[in-house]
Amino acid sequence: MKKNIITLSLAVLILCTATSCVKETYGNLNATIEGFVIDQATGMALGNVLITMSSGKYGTTYTGSDGFYQIVEVEPNIQETIQAQKEGYTDNRRKIIPRAGETINLNFVMNKQP
């Protein structure tokens, strides 16, 4: 009886440890897209730039006053077009295919409209 309890306890411990390792190694299979948006002429950060993705799955986000944006939990292996828009500037688009667990640094340089 005592041997069965020890064996069962050991099996539970091994299972818990293995499950924990799997979660740690493979826990985040989605991608993250982040970057900065700057003004081409001045090199200054552009705040309040609308960032959208072609699939529409991830809603919209805006850059902060430092020009930084981030989109998390992006489904991998699907081509997306990321677009940056700001009134008075020419829209900027980039195509990407995120990979599982990847963080893509995608910066935009925007030009003022003539």
The answer to whether the beta carbons of residues 94 and 106 sit under 8 Å apart is yes
List CB contacts of 39: < 8 A, sequence separation 6 or more.
45, 46, 89, 109, 110, 112
pLDDT at 21: 43
Q: Which CATH number fits domain 31-110: 1.10.3720.10, 2.60.120.620, 2.40.160.20, 2.60.40.1120?
A: 2.60.40.1120
Prediction pTM value = 0.73
Q: What is the pLDDT along the chain (114 residues), one digit of tens a residue?
A: 545 444 444 444 444 444 444 434 455 689 999 999 999 999 999 999 999 999 888 888 999 999 999 999 999 999 999 999 999 999 999 999 999 999 999 999 999 998
For residue 5, which phi and psi values (nearest 5 degrees)? Answer: -65, -45
Nearest to 67 by CA among 32, 108, 95, 96: 108
In the chain, domain spans? 31-110
